[in-house]
Structure 1
Amino acid sequence: MEWLESLEGIEELESAEAFLDYFGVAYDPAQVRISRLHIMHRFHQALCGAAAPEELPGRHALAARLLAEAYQAFAGIPVREQSSLRVYQRLEPQFVPLSALREVRP
């Protein structure tokens, strides 16, 4: 993923929107507000698995495509269905009846 740092101005980007703008990916701001962490996580995973082209324009095009794919993975779909973050991969929620709870006193 070090190859990404070879792109001019990339180290100045601080938000998901900044990355999307930099790579020219059209996006819905409301969707990015909801899914920014997931989009950037998916982008990072894709970058780690990608073989970088030798030439700079090819690197830019590859990163733009990977970011667009990461964004599209979450566009209009509930985050829970697409996220690879562990918090969404837990087992079904457990039900604890109110009668099973006890008061805790110091």
Structure 2
Amino acid sequence: MSNSHSAASILDRLNKASSAEEFFSLLGVEYDPGIVNVARLHILKRMGQYLANEQLAGAAEPDIRARCKAMLEQAYADFVASSPIDQRVFKVLKDAVADHDKPTAFVPLSELK
């Protein structure tokens, strides 16, 4: 493999990964399968949010790999410390909280037919 191909290889490999476990394996991050089973999509979404703030263009492969690993570790740590409900990375969970704050209409059982 040439150096020019390996510059994008970790990002290419992550883009082709089909499971959260592959992300952890590719980046060499230890994890508890119980946490990943509950929060896999949340962890990957959070990692993506963190990576969106990174400037990886033109960086060397070891630097890209290190940043990706750090972002996955940080995202995973978020869900070790609290639940997906507490973190609310997905819109549906954010909306649920917003709706929860709205007063609900009360309908007495006697009105139901």
TM-score (norm 1): 0.77
User: Partner of 1:68 in structure 2?
Assistant: 73
Taking a change above 3 Å as real, the CA distance of residues 102 and 51 of structure 1, as seen in their structure-2 partners, is: same
Shift of 1:60: 0.4
Report the secondary structure of 1:75's partner residue.
helix
Gaps of 5+ in 1: none
Shift of 1:7: 2.4
CA contact (8 A) 1:31 1:76 kept: no
Higher mean displacement: 85-94 or 68-77? 85-94
Which of 85, 88, 95 in structure 2 is aligned with 1:83? 88
CA contact (8 A) 1:7 1:60 kept: no
User: Partner of 2:28 in structure 1?
Assistant: 24
Shift of 1:86: 1.7
Taking a change above 3 Å as real, the CA distance of residues 101 and 12 of structure 1, as seen in their structure-2 partners, is: farther
Alpha-carbon RMSD across the aligned residues, in angstroms, is 2.5
The whole-number CA distance in structure 2 between the counterparts of 1:45 and 1:101 is: 47
Pairs within 5 Å for 1:1-106? 6-8=8-10, 9-52=13-56, 54-89=59-94, 90-91=97-98, 92=100, 94=104, 99=109, 102=112
Higher mean displacement: 50-59 or 20-29? 50-59
The whole-number CA distance in structure 2 between the counterparts of 1:37 and 1:50 is: 20
Q: 1:7 is matched by which residue type in structure 2?
A: S
Taking a change above 3 Å as real, the CA distance of residues 95 and 16 of structure 1, as seen in their structure-2 partners, is: farther
Tell me which protein shows more helix as a share of its residues.
2
TM-score (norm 2): 0.73
The whole-number CA distance in structure 2 between the counterparts of 1:58 and 1:82 is: 28
- Count how many residue pairs are aligned between Structure 1 and Structure 2: 99
